């Protein structure tokens, strides 16, 4: 079924008279009243005042709606400034258009109740609360002329991500970045409760804002008899004052003073549902949580409520607001600025319009030398870092790296040759403030929510970036990923939305190497979480070495509208593929490593060793090495998977292999022992419809891990080389009992390795120092220039 079309419906269906020219009747009311009123009047008020100021100052501005359920306010604003009719020509500027506009709202086949991708000018749906300020600052970075007016709901303000996002003002540069103007909309109530910030008194609230580094301007209206005119005059004056303060700060910064100012913010305290009915059925409504959603949900069936509804709507005097034809009156239309100064039409609200391709240096020039498989050792992200350094050099204003505190720990430290971490809190001195500067391409704050939110805001306004994070803790933003993936899916179907750069993850402190931290830092489940989202949106890559990582990331930075998850370890590990091989391998997404197997040309193998992920690849190769020595006649095929989605059916994922190709590689009937980076079930899921799926035996993470050594960790989860050999013996029918001796030796080898580890606190040297035989034979120096000790190795 097609996803979206504007509904027409029968002409006699509600609202039959959108402009309220006669008394409302039951037939004017939709059968299902959906949406949220309480936050909407405040959003509309602020939008209108900003319009006035923008027009006067020609100040490019976007509007971020924290209380995104106030969709009606933003849709109406876009309609009144005419953007809406431009992108949805069916919604005309006349009575019929108004009717369609009203009807389609939260109506089957119509538009969502939130400030969704369908809403012109939106980069922030606000369905899940907490990210308004993070998105706003993301939009502001490298956008020096932009004002991001950001309404923070006082409900949203209770969430953790929002509570820390106020501190974003320590990361924004007053000269080189844009300005975020936070407006805390203190309407006092959530769904069924008062809000915390509305109930702590003015002194504490102002102290809180000062503590967050802001100069608060408190505006209170709607609680007394003050006329609307006076309220508007007061707010207009306040807004001018605030914008003047901002202009002063920007002017000082332009003169070279980049020190952190106390940025102004506005506390906007009004009744919830302001201008709605004070009481309904004797219960306080406006100015209470009862105004949150639909105050008169039963208006269709309750005549008294219908009357209240009519009086309420009539109080806005629609006859003064619309002309005979149902077109908004000229003075209303004239309030909005022109063209792209309209907040609904600012291209930052449709970032793909501003997107430029990155200038990408040829990643092949950054590759490592791999004379024979395993013939050199690298920390793969460190190699990636050398390339990213030049990416930064060549794209000084539209590419940033985000991470909680780990860009160096994740081995991207080379980038600090070219850039710094942007920091606008206090400095102490060069002894400790290494690579910190008022402007830089790396953004580090110990909040995964902030990193994700900033990056999303940065991407949605047409720029590029990546987020490096511990694999276990990327789950902290599971829910934010959901929302971004949903946003991308929806925008794919909206013709006027232009594609944006992909959201790229680099998870290089992964489950298998949490030597310093142990069980709490082990969780490879983000991949599982990601693959539940639409196949068109998600990509997962597990490059096994440095050259494949370079090739993968080049691809990611060129892609659009995806979420790319790249998992690769940061510890010293062998390289297996030359750059040419890596490019070919990544292009295929998976492939047979014939140098690692013992196949006979023209014959099917006896067993396939599959692997995906760097540690599993190493163990699979070590198992292949044992097998070629111990059972040389066994025809072993080794298949490495970089692009995990290749495992899935082509009907289910655009990257999926055809069944024919899959069968050619994995065979239809032979046992496949698959060593996988994450939870084993995912491989079964991806291969569920494959012919040979019943023969696939997966080893992966089983939630077994504790304080241990790297090899002991893989042993705890039965992913180690010895266990893979045991799996081969147990699964290849021709081996069976005839190899009981080898099997026993593998069992013993595991026990020996374990005992050594427990006695010495380190892995058995024979295991730890194993190298692929070709490298050993070549006598190559496989020492690594590893980042050690104080600082760089921190985790």
Site for a second copy in 284-343 (CB under 8 A): 284-285, 287-290, 292-298
Could you tell me which residues are beta bridge partners of residue 509?
470
Q: Helix 71-80 crosses helix 40-57 at what angle (to 10 degrees)?
A: 40
Q: Does the protein bind a second copy through residue 275 (CB under 8 A)? A: no
Smallest distance, a second copy to C-beta of residue 791, A? 5
Give the residue, chosen from 9, 318, 499, 773, that forms a contact with a second copy under the rule CB under 8 A. Answer: 9
Q: What one-character DSSP code corresponds to residue 3? A: -
Q: Which of residues 129-158 bind a second copy (CB under 8 A)?
A: 129-130, 155-156, 158
Site string for a second copy, 183-212 (x = CB under 8 A): ------xxxxxxxx--xxx-xxxxxxxxxx
Q: Does the protein bind a second copy through residue 40 (CB under 8 A)? A: no
Q: Which stretch binds a second copy (CB under 8 A): 159-167, 614-622, 663-671, 776-784?
A: 159-167
Q: Quote the Cα angle for 310-114-74, to 5°.
A: 65
Hey, CA dihedral for 406, 411, 416, 419, is it positive or negative? Answer: negative
Phi then psi dihedrals of residue 251, to 5 deg: -65, -45
Q: Which of residues 754-783 bind a second copy (CB under 8 A)?
A: 754, 757-762
Return the number of the residue (116 or 231) whose C-beta is nearest a second copy: 116
CB-facing half-sphere around the CA of 579: CA atoms within 13 A? 11
Assigned token pair, 513: 């190497």
Given a contact cutoff of 8 angstroms between Cβ atoms, the answer to whether 325 and 19 are in contact is no
Alpha helices of 145-227 — where are they, by DSSP H?
A: 160-165, 201-211
Q: Which stretch binds a second copy (CB under 8 A): 30-38, 496-504, 583-591, 725-733?
A: 30-38
Smallest distance, a second copy to C-beta of residue 349, A? 18
Give the residue, chosen from 420, 659, 663, 704, that forms a contact with a second copy under the rule CB under 8 A. Answer: 704
Q: Which of residues 483-542 bind a second copy (CB under 8 A)?
A: 483, 486, 489-490, 515-521, 523, 525, 528-529, 532-534
Smallest distance, a second copy to C-beta of residue 363, A? 26
Element containing residue 611 per DSSP (H, E): strand 607-612
Smallest distance, a second copy to C-beta of residue 640, A? 24
Phi then psi dihedrals of residue 66, to 5 deg: -55, -55
Q: Does the protein bind a second copy through residue 650 (CB under 8 A)? A: no
Alpha-carbon distance values, 436 to 171, 272, 429 (Å): 11, 43, 10
Give the residue, chosen from 99, 114, 135, 653, that forms a contact with a second copy under the rule CB under 8 A. Answer: 114
Q: Does the protein bind a second copy through residue 479 (CB under 8 A)? A: yes
Cis peptide before 15 (omega within 30 of 0): yes
Smallest distance, a second copy to C-beta of residue 236, A? 28
Return the number of the residue (160 or 396) whose C-beta is nearest a second copy: 160
What whole-number distance in Å separates Cα of residue 326 and Cα of residue 211? 49
Coil vs helix vs strand at 237:
helix
Assigned token pair, 361: 């240096």
Coil vs helix vs strand at 484:
helix
CB-facing half-sphere around the CA of 683: CA atoms within 13 A? 24
Kindly determine how many residues on this chain lie close enough to bind a second copy according to the rule CB under 8 A: 159
Q: Name which of 623, 618, 500 is nearest 562 in CA terms.
A: 500
What whole-number distance in Å separates Cα of residue 467 and Cα of residue 506? 6
Smallest distance, a second copy to C-beta of residue 521, A? 6
Q: Which of residues 710-749 bind a second copy (CB under 8 A)?
A: 712, 715-716
Q: Which of residues 588-627 bind a second copy (CB under 8 A)?
A: none
Given a contact cutoff of 8 angstroms between Cβ atoms, the answer to whether 462 and 354 are in contact is yes
Q: What one-character DSSP code corresponds to residue 113? A: S
Burial class (CB in 10 A: 0-12, 13-18, 19+), 127: middle
Q: Does the protein bind a second copy through residue 69 (CB under 8 A)? A: yes
Q: Does the protein bind a second copy through residue 162 (CB under 8 A)? A: yes
Burial class (CB in 10 A: 0-12, 13-18, 19+), 336: buried
Return the number of the residue (619 or 712) whose C-beta is nearest a second copy: 712
What whole-number distance in Å separates Cα of residue 38 and Cα of residue 740? 73
Smallest distance, a second copy to C-beta of residue 88, A? 15
Smallest distance, a second copy to C-beta of residue 173, A? 15
Q: Name which of 55, 528, 37, 520 is nearest 294 in CA terms.
A: 37
Give the residue, chosen from 111, 183, 459, 607, that forms a contact with a second copy under the rule CB under 8 A. Answer: 111
Return the number of the residue (377 or 436) whose C-beta is nearest a second copy: 436
Per DSSP (E only), the strands in 350-398 are: 376-378
Give the residue, chosen from 51, 491, 548, 708, that forms a contact with a second copy under the rule CB under 8 A. Answer: 708
Q: Which of residues 419-458 bind a second copy (CB under 8 A)?
A: 421, 423, 425-428, 431-434, 436, 444-450
Return the number of the residue (330 or 789) whose C-beta is nearest a second copy: 789
Q: Name which of 418, 421, 356 is nearest 391 in CA terms.
A: 418
Smallest distance, a second copy to C-beta of residue 592, A? 26
Give the residue, chosen from 17, 20, 25, 35, that forms a contact with a second copy under the rule CB under 8 A. Answer: 35
Smallest distance, a second copy to C-beta of residue 364, A? 30
What whole-number distance in Å separates Cα of residue 201 and Cα of residue 265? 17
Give the residue, chosen from 587, 706, 738, 744, that forms a contact with a second copy under the rule CB under 8 A. Answer: 706
Assigned token pair, 208: 């809180």
Smallest distance, a second copy to C-beta of residue 293, A? 5
Site string for a second copy, 383-422 (x = CB under 8 A): ----------------------xxxxx-----------x-
Q: Does the protein bind a second copy through residue 116 (CB under 8 A)? A: yes
Assigned token pair, 703: 């939630």
Return the number of the residue (250 or 521) whose C-beta is nearest a second copy: 521
Q: Which residue has the tokens 């996988």?
A: 676
Q: Which stretch binds a second copy (CB under 8 A): 222-230, 557-565, 637-645, 751-759?
A: 751-759
């Amino acid at each position: 079924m097609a996803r979206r079309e504007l509904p027409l419906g029968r002409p006699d269906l509600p609202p039959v008279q959108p402009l309220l020219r006669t008394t409302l009747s039951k037939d004017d009311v939709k059968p299902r009243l959906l949406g949220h009123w309480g936050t909407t009047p405040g959003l509309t008020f602020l939008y209108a005042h900003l319009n006035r100021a923008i027009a006067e100052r020609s100040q490019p501005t976007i509007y971020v709606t924290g209380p995104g359920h106030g969709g009606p306010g933003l849709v109406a604003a876009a309609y009144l400034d005419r953007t809406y009719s431009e992108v949805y020509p069916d919604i005309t500027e006349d009575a019929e258009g108004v009717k369609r506009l009203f009807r389609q709202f939260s109506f089957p086949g119509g538009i969502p109740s939130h400030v969704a991708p369908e809403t012109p000018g939106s980069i922030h749906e606000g369905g899940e609360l907490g990210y308004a300020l993070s998105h706003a600052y993301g939009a502001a970075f490298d956008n020096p002329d932009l004002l991001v007016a950001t309404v923070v709901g006082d409900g949203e303000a209770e969430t953790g991500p929002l509570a820390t996002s106020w501190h974003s003002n320590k990361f924004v540069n007053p000269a080189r970045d844009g300005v975020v103007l936070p407006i805390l909309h203190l309407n006092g109530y959530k769904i069924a409760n008062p809000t915390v910030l509305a109930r702590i008194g003015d002194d504490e609230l102002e102290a809180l804002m000062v503590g967050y580094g802001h100069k608060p301007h408190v505006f209170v209206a709607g609680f007394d008899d003050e006329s609307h005119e006076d309220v508007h005059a007061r707010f207009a004056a306040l807004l001018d004052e605030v914008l003047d303060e901002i202009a002063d700060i920007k002017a000082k910064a332009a003169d070279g003073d980049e020190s952190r100012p106390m940025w102004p913010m506005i506390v906007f305290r009004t009744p919830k549902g302001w201008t709605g009915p004070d009481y309904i059925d004797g219960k306080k409504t406006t100015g209470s949580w009862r105004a949150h959603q639909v105050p008169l949900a039963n208006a269709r069936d309750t005549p008294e409520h219908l009357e209240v509804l009519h009086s309420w709507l009539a109080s806005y005097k629609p006859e003064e607001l619309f002309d005979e034809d149902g077109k908004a009156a000229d003075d209303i239309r004239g309030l909005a600025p022109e063209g792209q100064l309209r907040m609904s039409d600012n291209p930052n609200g449709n970032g793909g319009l501003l997107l430029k391709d990155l200038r990408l240096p040829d990643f092949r020039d950054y590759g490592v030398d791999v004379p024979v498989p395993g013939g050199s050792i690298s920390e793969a992200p460190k190699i990636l870092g050398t390339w990213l350094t030049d990416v930064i050099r060549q794209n000084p204003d539209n590419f940033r790296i985000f991470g909680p505190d780990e860009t160096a720990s994740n081995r991207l430290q080379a980038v600090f040759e070219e850039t710094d971490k942007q920091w606008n809190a206090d400095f102490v001195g060069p002894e400790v403030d290494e690579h910190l500067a008022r402007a830089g391409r790396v953004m580090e704050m110990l909040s995964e929510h902030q990193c994700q939110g900033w990056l999303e805001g940065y991407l949605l306004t047409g720029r590029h970036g990546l987020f490096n994070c511990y694999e276990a803790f990327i789950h902290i933003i599971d829910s934010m990923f959901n929302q971004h993936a949903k946003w991308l899916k929806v925008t794919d179907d909206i013709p006027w939305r232009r594609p944006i750069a992909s959201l790229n993850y680099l998870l290089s402190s992964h489950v298998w190497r949490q030597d310093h931290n142990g069980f709490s830092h082990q969780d490879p489940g983000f991949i599982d979480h990601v693959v539940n989202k639409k196949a068109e949106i998600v990509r997962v890559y597990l490059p096994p070495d440095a050259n494949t990582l370079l090739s993968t990331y080049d691809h990611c930075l060129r892609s659009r509208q995806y979420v790319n998850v790249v998992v690769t370890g940061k510890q010293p590990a062998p390289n297996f593929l030359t750059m040419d091989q890596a490019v070919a391998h990544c292009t295929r997404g998976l492939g047979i490593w014939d140098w690692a197997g013992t196949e006979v040309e023209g014959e099917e193998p006896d067993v396939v060793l599959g692997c995906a992920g760097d540690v599993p690849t190493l163990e699979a190769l070590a198992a292949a090495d044992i097998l070629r020595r111990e059972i040389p006649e066994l025809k072993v095929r080794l298949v490495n998977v970089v692009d995990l989605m290749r495992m899935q059916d082509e009907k289910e994922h655009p990257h999926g292999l055809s069944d024919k190709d899959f069968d050619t590689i994995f065979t239809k009937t032979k046992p496949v022992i698959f060593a996988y980076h994450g939870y084993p079930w995912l491989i079964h899921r991806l291969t569920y419809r494959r012919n040979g799926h019943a023969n696939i035996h997966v080893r992966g993470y089983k939630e077994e891990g504790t304080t241990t050594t790297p090899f002991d960790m893989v042993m705890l989860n039965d992913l180690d080389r010895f266990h893979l050999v045991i799996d081969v013996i147990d699964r290849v029918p021709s081996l069976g009992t005839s190899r009981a001796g080898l099997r026993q030796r593998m069992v013993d080898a595991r026990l020996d390795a374990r005992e050594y580890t427990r006695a010495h606190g380190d892995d058995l040297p024979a295991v730890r120092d194993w190298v692929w035989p070709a490298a050993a034979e070549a006598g190559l120096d496989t020492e690594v220039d590893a980042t050690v000790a104080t600082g760089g190795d921190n985790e």
